[in-house]
Chain A
Amino acid sequence: MSASVLYRPGDSVVHRLPAHVKIVAAFAAVLGVVATPREAAWAFGADLVVVVAVWAVAGVPVGWFARRAVIEIPFVLFAVLLPFVGGGPRTDVLGVSVSVEGSLAGWNIVAKGTLGVLISLTLAATTHPRDLLAGLRRLRVPPLVTTIASLMLRYVEVIVAEARRMRLARLCRGDDSRFLWQAAAVARGIGVLFLRSYERGERVHLAMLARGWTGTMPAPPAAPPGAARWLAGVSPAVLVAAGCGVALWVT
């Protein structure tokens, strides 16, 4: 995975925050959003303002996030259907009969999903993937998980390049991947790629053993971030949590 797809290099305060502080803040903010009652539309608006404020401080343009948020579209499509297929009492909106419960459920998915995606994208845009992994390690995520993730980060590029070469070689022999009935060749290609990747995994493991690997990734020590940076880092999440608390109080 090319780091540039989600990560936008920069030197803002947000970029410089230690990764594990940002991970905790993002996780807490997502929890806050999910716990907010769906009727409190104002709270979601306030959350969005907080997220946009973080973007402004980080110096990442809105368009950067908008383009990457399209990943959410399948869920939005599903949510748009809910008002029409939902059960229970119905009401008329612009002459169309919609389910009250379905509309609320759809809104719930769109609002919380969008905010969740935007918060995750904010974390990814301001934190280099390798710092993310270092942050996870510092948060005591099992080393096996972070090792697998860091290897994935490295080898996805190799595998994608290999897949591209295989596709090119297929096309050079007259294959046209646009036609559905040639999907069989693509499927076999994926199978071969899986086997090759598996074999490569074994070779990588041997090469790691030969350099003294014992099962845990050696990591450089890092200075603890200090209370002030922790406070600054989690402040957006605290705002989201406060909004959630007020919303729960009043509804």
Chain B
Amino acid sequence: MGDVNPALLVKDLEYAYPDGHRALAGIDLRVEPGERIAVLGPNGAGKTTLTLHLVGVLGGGGGRVEVSGLPVDQRNLREVRRRVGVVFQDPDDQLFMPTVAEDVAFGPRNFGVPEPELRPRVRAALDAVGMAAHAERSPMHLSAGQRRRVALATVLACDPEILVLDEPSSNLEPVARRELAEVLLSLDRTMLMVSHDLPYALQLCPRSVLVDGGRIVADGPTRELLADSALLAAHRLELPWGFRLD
């Protein structure tokens, strides 16, 4: 059955913001279950707009999105949002409850997880990101790396089929960045990672798509894509100084 339905199917997706700016101009993307895929592109390419379409927060342009065969529309929003977990770029936008544990419980409670099951779920999600010891602390008093991992736990607690990460490595010190990568690699889930951190994409995602001007301009193995310096240069991307992939 998994062979029939891809984890994620995006077909001719278009979207223009109310001010007329055309953020998505016909995106086609198919992600198979278990795949880890990086969505690369310069600022303003439409990457975040794309992620907001995957959970039905934005919509109403052209085209369609399906999550394991389920179309993203008003009738299915709740189920879609349970299946797709988005970790936002700024953990302060995501963590809004007084304690870490309450924040992690927010999503499962919304999705109707009964109270007796909630505690083990919160615990398991915090264990998965190595933050169980901080359950009763305020998210405000955690470091940036810890907050990012808690933000990930808030989504893992909903047990999503697809994990969508928006710039997961931004504002992280090298150690926190590596720790997050280890956590992400230990999760056996379909993953879509939006980033312009190219080495991070290489480390985490075997496949990448390059988005620019609201379209997918390249799709292939991450290593091949990043080795094509002419392609990267044409879309305002480049590897950090000192990096070579040939």
Name A residues whose Cβ lies closer than 8 Å to a Cβ of B: 3, 129-130, 150-151, 153-155, 157-158, 200, 203-204, 206-214, 218-221
A211-B57 in contact given A129-B98, A154-B97, A158-B92 (Cβ < 8 Å): no
- Quick check: B98 and A153 within 8 Å, CB to CB? yes
A200-B92 in contact given A153-B98, A206-B57, A211-B107 (Cβ < 8 Å): yes
- Quick check: B81 and A211 within 8 Å, CB to CB? yes
Alpha-carbon distance A130/B92, docked complex (angstroms): 18
* Chain B contact residue count (CB 8 A cutoff): 32
Contact stretch, chosen from B9-17, B108-116, B233-241? B108-116
Alpha-carbon distance A211/B110, docked complex (angstroms): 7
Name B residues whose Cβ lies closer than 8 Å to a Cβ of A: 52, 55, 57, 78, 81-82, 84-86, 88, 90, 92-94, 96-99, 102, 105-107, 109-111, 115, 118, 138, 140, 154-155, 158
Question: Which single member of B92, B102, B107, B140 contacts A212 (CB below 8 Å)?
Answer: B107
- Quick check: B52 and A206 within 8 Å, CB to CB? yes
Contacts A/B (CB < 8 Å), 11 sampled: A129-B98, A154-B97, A158-B92, A158-B140, A200-B92, A204-B93, A206-B52, A206-B93, A207-B93, A211-B106, A218-B106
Give B74 Cβ to nearest chain A Cβ, in Å. Answer: 13
> Which residues of B lie under 8 Å from residue A206 when comparing CB positions?
52, 57, 88, 93
> Which residues of A lie under 8 Å from residue B57 when comparing CB positions?
206, 209-210
Alpha-carbon distance A113/B140, docked complex (angstroms): 34
- Quick check: B81 and A218 within 8 Å, CB to CB? no
> Which residues of A lie under 8 Å from residue B85 when comparing CB positions?
210-211
Alpha-carbon distance A155/B154, docked complex (angstroms): 18
- Quick check: A151 and B107 within 8 Å, CB to CB? no
Alpha-carbon distance A157/B105, docked complex (angstroms): 22
> Which residues of A lie under 8 Å from residue B90 when comparing CB positions?
203
Chain A residue with Cβ nearest B106: A211
> Which residues of A lie under 8 Å from residue B99 when comparing CB positions?
130
> Which residues of B lie under 8 Å from residue A211 when comparing CB positions?
81, 85, 106-107, 110, 154-155, 158
Chain B residue with Cβ nearest A208: B96
